[in-house]
């Protein structure tokens, strides 16, 4: 094997058969650019995989004995490109401390966040999963990915948007700023109306926030109930008004 070193620990790099590596079921990234994978595969075919994949060993009892395979923790894009390139083996670093789903999700999430590989919806879904499945608070998640609690909380709020708007955000037809601004509208009908204006062009996220503020003011005025006067005060108001020669 080859040996790779960093400032904190030594890692052994092994070359293993690519067909023995299984995808990470807890991978937060779902959308992969096929053209980008093809471009990377050309580089992989020419220069090899320059950064090892991170895997954990999986041992399974079979009638023929102990079967060893590897589950991917980080590096799915490199794995896919290597498969397209037809490489028989890839370099891996084997770590044995990722037996729990939470650990696998956290490491894959952190790697993707650091590389800015996740679209806003994938990032939000990963945060939401850490919160719901593993009971982590937004503050604990924020500490793990080196972001503020507000950033994590605002990301998760994006999941409250209607599915078709989330899909547009996932496909990068809608910006994160626009999506966040749309959350200012509590009414889904109004969200869709403004969303269509955004797609038509010329509406900034600040414009959307201003529209939402105006809508809330108008809604507040419309919902304000007129104050019903108590009859016993009507005569008193009239008398005081005449005495003071001023409105009461």
Which amino acids are annotated catalytic?
76
Q: How far is CA 227 from CA 114, 224, 230, in A?
A: 57, 9, 9
- Residue 59 in contact with residue 99, Cβ under 8 Å? no
The residue count for the chain: 248
Alpha carbons 92 and 11: distance in angstroms, whole number: 10
CB 155 within 8 A of CB 170: no
d(CA 119, CA 185): 23
Helix, strand, coil share of the chain (percent; to 5): 55, 15, 30
| CB within 8 Å of 62: residues ≥ 6 apart | none
Report helix, strand or coil for 113. Answer: helix
Rg (CA), the chain: 28
């Amino acid at each position: 094997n080859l040996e790779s070193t960093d400032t904190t620990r030594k890692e052994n790099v092994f070359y293993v058969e690519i067909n023995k590596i299984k995808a990470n079921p807890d991978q937060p990234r779902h959308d992969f650019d096929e053209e980008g994978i093809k471009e990377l595969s050309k580089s992989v075919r020419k220069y090899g995989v320059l950064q090892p994949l991170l895997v954990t060993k999986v041992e399974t009892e079979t009638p023929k004995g102990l079967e060893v395979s590897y589950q991917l923790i980080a590096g799915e894009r490199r794995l896919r490109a290597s498969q397209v390139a037809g490489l028989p083996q890839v370099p891996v670093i084997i770590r044995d401390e990722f037996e729990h789903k939470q650990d696998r999700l956290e490491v894959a999430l952190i790697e993707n966040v650091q590389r800015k590989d996740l679209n806003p919806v994938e990032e939000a879904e990963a945060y939401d999963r850490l919160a719901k499945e593993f009971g982590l608070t937004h503050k604990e998640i924020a500490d793990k990915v080196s972001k503020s609690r507000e950033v994590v909380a605002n990301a998760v709020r994006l999941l409250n948007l209607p599915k078709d708007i989330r899909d547009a955000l996932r496909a990068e037809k809608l910006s994160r700023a626009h999506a966040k601004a749309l959350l200012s509208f509590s009414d889904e009908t109004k969200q869709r109306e403004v969303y269509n204006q955004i797609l038509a062009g010329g509406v900034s996220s600040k414009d959307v926030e201003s529209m939402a503020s105006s809508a809330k003011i108008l809604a507040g005025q419309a919902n304000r109930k007129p104050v019903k006067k108590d009859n016993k005060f009507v005569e008193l108001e009239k008398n005081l008004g005449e005495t003071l020669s001023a409105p009461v």
